[in-house]
Structure 1
Amino acid sequence: MHKFTVLLIEDEKSISDFTSRTLTSHNYRVVCASTGAEALSLASSLCPDIFLLDLGLPDMDGMEIIRSLRTWSGSPIIVVSARTLEDDKVRALDAGADDYLTKPFGTSELLARIRTSLRHSNKVNSDNGLPQHPYQAKGLKIDFFKRTITIHEEAVHLTPIEYKIVAFLAQNSGKVMTYSAVMNNVWGPYAESDNKILRVNMANIRRKLEKNPAQPVYIFTEVGVGYRMADDEEIS
């Protein structure tokens, strides 16, 4: 009994074969596409649970595929690419990708990223759009209904803006959220492109949440890209 269907979009056969074997051995159903056109055709007929996408395809750019998929599909998209430039990561995430994994990658990391993305895509939200369960990780607990934050049951007092930043990252825990995504959520679509105000707020947040702000355990910086919140331990 297969758990989830993965559409693997990769034109290098050796990588495609290896990744397919790995995922199949972990009980995923894998369908492969080597071109963008083939991928879009399979996507509409299969409606896969998750996409693994290489950006450098022979017939079209991966960004085009992300934008096309996002017009109708909410399934997670994990970009798996040899492109290491921060701009490429930011563009892919802002276009609608959920995560970005740089080649070469380890099998354990790939499987972990897939599990995280699938958990979040299947997370049940309440009628008001808030997660039904509090966020919990490493002693940190965020109750979205009460708008409270505690660490080992000790209350943490954040400003409204600081809370909004942390809550947004927690609701997307385990995923990289770009600077522009955070700023749009907190300050709206007309926020200034300069992320200095975000960095100032993040420095204050870390002073309140982290035992050692220089070595964070809750909110990690993806340099030049954005922030990633530690994965929610309570999501099942």
Structure 2
Amino acid sequence: MHEPLHKILLIEPEARVVEMMIEALTREFAAQITCLSHGAEALDVELLEPHDLVVATMDPPDLEGAELAEHLASISRRPVIVTARDLNVEETLRLLRAGVREVLLKPFPIAGLVETARRALEAHRLQREHARRHRQLRELTRRFVRERRQLNEKVELVCRDLVGAHRRLVQRVLRLEDRAETLA
């Protein structure tokens, strides 16, 4: 059996909602899903084993939802989707500023969650790809600069050798001219 394509952390205390989410996300993404009902557990789990996507409710029983979402967004840099029953504009802005990718209001269509998860995972994949290419470019640039320095050092040595050879040649020519004058 092969590895699941994605690892998703699901934080939701309502069993019925959890079942629907698991079914839809597993079917759509062939994902390994870790389900938790408590926010404090989620922080520990995410620190020990980061997931590709976090779907967290704003209603966990043991931790303020916004605080949980902020912590999750700050520790893993993975996309975080928040679900909530009631959310005012101020709370929504606070979540988005903290790094939450999207906020879904309950009840939401499962298809909406799946599409939001798809966009979040794709954006995260593109960010990772961009970061990988940036690292490659930085390494190529370092190598280019290092090789250019080495080449400059070699050119400088060759130039010194040429200047030295030219001086010796000029001195020899002058000595030969002096001898020729003395013989003449």
Q: Which residue of 1 aligns with 2:25?
A: 23
SS of the equivalent of 2:120 reads helix
User: Taking structure 1 as reference, are residues 67 and 84 closer, same or farther at Cα in structure 2, changes over 3 Å only?
Assistant: closer
Q: Which amino acid aligns with 2:21?
A: T
- Equivalent of residue 134 in structure 2, options 118, 127, 147: 127
State the Cα deviation string for residues 6-50 of structure 1 (Å, max 9, x = none).
100011111112211221222121110100111112112221100
Q: Which amino acid aligns with 2:8?
A: V
- Report the Cα distance in structure 1 between the residues aligned to 2:24 and 2:120, rounded to whole angstroms: 17
1:221-232 map, 5 Å: none
Scaled by the length of structure 1, the TM-score of the pair is 0.51
| Mean CA deviation greater in 79-88 or 101-110 | 79-88
Whether 1:56 and 2:59 are equivalent positions in the alignment is: yes
1:96-115 map, 5 Å: 96-115=99-118
1:149-228 map, 5 Å: none
- Equivalent of residue 90 in structure 1, options 86, 90, 93: 93
Q: Which residue of 2 aligns with 1:7?
A: 9
Identical pairs, percent? 27
1:65, CA displacement in angstroms?
1.5
Whether 1:35 and 2:14 are equivalent positions in the alignment is: no
Contact 1:63 1:95 in 2 (8 A): no
- Report the Cα distance in structure 1 between the residues aligned to 2:56 and 2:74, rounded to whole angstroms: 16
1:57, CA displacement in angstroms?
1.0
Contact 2:8 2:31 in 1 (8 A): yes
Q: Which amino acid aligns with 2:9?
A: L
Scaled by the length of structure 2, the TM-score of the pair is 0.64
- Report the Cα distance in structure 1 between the residues aligned to 2:48 and 2:134, rounded to whole angstroms: 30
Size of the aligned set, in residue pairs, is 128
Q: Which runs of 4+ in 1 moved over 3 A?
A: none
Gaps in structure 2 of 5+ consecutive residues: 136-184
- Report the Cα distance in structure 2 between the residues aligned to 1:24 and 1:12, rounded to whole angstroms: 18
Task: Select the structure with the greater relative contact order (CA < 8 A; seq sep ≥ 6).
Answer: 2
Alignment RMSD (CA, Å) = 1.7
- Report the Cα distance in structure 2 between the residues aligned to 1:127 and 1:46, rounded to whole angstroms: 25
- Structure whose residues are more often helix by fraction: 2
Q: Which amino acid aligns with 2:24?
A: T
- Report the Cα distance in structure 1 between the residues aligned to 2:105 and 2:72, rounded to whole angstroms: 21
Q: Which amino acid aligns with 1:15?
A: V
- Structure whose residues are more often strand by fraction: 1
Contact 1:75 1:121 in 2 (8 A): yes
1:117, CA displacement in angstroms?
0.6
